[in-house]
Amino acid sequence: MRLATLGAKNYFAETSLFDGAPHQADIVTIEPVDILLIRQSTLFALVRRRPTWGCLC
């Protein structure tokens, strides 16, 4: 079942960064993509260093 089609600069699974829950869906690409993986510990360390970034989430 297709839930959504994402395009350039879209993001997914961001809630898992905050609540630690498993991802809600699998992602399948139809063409080559570049991804950015951010670990929860890395995100929290960045927000501690730059608290204003926490408002962007």
Question: According to the model, what pLDDT value does residue 22 have?
Answer: 84
In angstroms, rounded to a whole number, what is the distance separating the alpha carbons of residues 22 and 46? 22
Task: Name residues whose C-beta falls within 8 Å of residue 24's C-beta, 6 or more positions apart in sequence.
Answer: 13, 15
Average pLDDT of span 8-32: 82
* Distance, CA of 4 to CA of 6 (rounded, Å): 6
pLDDT at 56 over 70: no
Distance between CA atoms of 10 and 24, rounded to whole angstroms?
16
Q: Is the pLDDT of residue 57 over 70?
A: no
Task: Identify the residue with better confidence: 12 or 45.
Answer: 45
- Summarised one tens digit per residue, pLDDT across range 24-54 is 788 888 889 888 888 889 988 988 898 887 7
pLDDT at 52: 85
